[in-house]
Structure 1
Amino acid sequence: MKTTDQIQQEIIDEFRLFDDWMDKYAMIIEQGNSLKPLDEIYKTPDNIIQGCQSRVWLQTDYRDGRLFFQAESDALIVKGLLALVLRIFNDRTPDEILATDLHFMKEIGLTEHLSPTRANGLLAVIKQIRFYAMAYKAKEAAK
């Protein structure tokens, strides 16, 4: 299995193929199209990420010491951003998630090209993923 840094490097390399941000946005949308639709039973208030301009749901499973995420948004760009983040964090241990320095966003120039509300929403998703990692790590330590 690839490390989170290796996956981030893959994302960086994929984005370096494009100079124009319209092409990069198209790639982000394409990434979102790869997300499996979230089952309606998970589209609950408990799974909504607060702080996002668009509606974003994040569903988490913890199996065999690893976290698995499913997410969906009603906005195409946001859905693509979710797909990128989940590529990095899906099927990871809590320790791996907490130790990951997310540098791909800065490397590809994403932080400069997102509106402040989208950037805040993306940070809210990342914060929630890290929160789940901390919670499951604490739960395991308490056993």
Structure 2
Amino acid sequence: MTIDDITEAFALLDDWEERYRYVIEIGRSLPELRPDQRNEDNRVKGCASNVWLVTHVGDGANPILTFEGESDAHIVKGLVAVTLAFYSGKHAVDIVGQDAFELFRQLGFEQHLTPQRSNGVRSMIDRIRRDARRAVSADQAVLKD
């Protein structure tokens, strides 16, 4: 599912109860992480629910990053799915320059998420962008050698 699919579906759904059901449904579409991936290194700090994020870094000067994620809470797992649809498969430099929280605002989540969930989404976005910055920095360090 692409981020365009998600935003188009949101535009068609009139009320927030339907939107929450949709978010839960797309969360169910995420593949489950392996048990060994649900570890402390992959856990996103700052989330009230357990959220795990696995970052895969491609090769090259501007690697493509892909992500896997999971949560033990239904709505949060859907928020993970939305976030991954926004970032996964993009070049590291592009990820660094994009803040998915703006997308969440445009979709109306800012008014419909508890402050605790909003903080968790922010923590997840910050983690993804930090991983992208590391991927860019690591590659530039190799280029300097």
Distance 2:99 2:67 in 1: 18
Distance 2:107 2:129 in 1: 22
Distance 1:108 1:62 in 2: 28
Distance 1:69 1:8 in 2: 14
Report SS of the residue matched to 2:45.
coil
Distance 1:115 1:62 in 2: 32
Distance 1:32 1:109 in 2: 18
Map 1:71-86 → 2, pairs under 5 A? 71-86=69-84
* One-letter identity of the residue aligned with 2:95: I
Report SS of the residue matched to 1:47.
coil
TM-score with structure 1 setting the length: 0.91
Q: Tell me, yes or no, if structure 1 residue 31 matches structure 2 residue 29.
A: no
User: Which of 52, 55, 64 is residue 47 of structure 2 equivalent to?
Assistant: 52
* One-letter identity of the residue aligned with 1:135: R
Give % identity.
Answer: 36
User: Which of 95, 98, 112 is residue 97 of structure 1 equivalent to?
Assistant: 95
User: Which of 2, 9, 14 is residue 19 of structure 1 equivalent to?
Assistant: 14
> How far is the alpha carbon of 1:8 from its aligned partner?
4.5
Once the two structures are superposed, residues 94-130 of structure 1 have per-residue CA deviations (whole angstroms, 9 ceiling, x without a partner) of 1110122433211111110000000000100000000
Distance 1:136 1:56 in 2: 21
* Structure 2: gaps of 5 or more residues: none
* One-letter identity of the residue aligned with 2:6: I
Q: Tell me, yes or no, if structure 1 residue 43 matches structure 2 residue 38.
A: yes
Contact preservation (8 Å) 1:9, 1:104:
no
Contact preservation (8 Å) 1:49, 1:57:
yes
Once the two structures are overlaid, the 10-residue window that deviates more, 9-18 or 40-49, is 9-18
Distance 2:86 2:11 in 1: 18
Aligned to 2:122: 123
TM-score with structure 2 setting the length: 0.90
Aligned residues between the structures:
137
Aligned to 1:3: none
What CA RMSD, in Å, does the superposition of the two structures yield over aligned residues?
1.2
Contact preservation (8 Å) 1:8, 1:104:
no
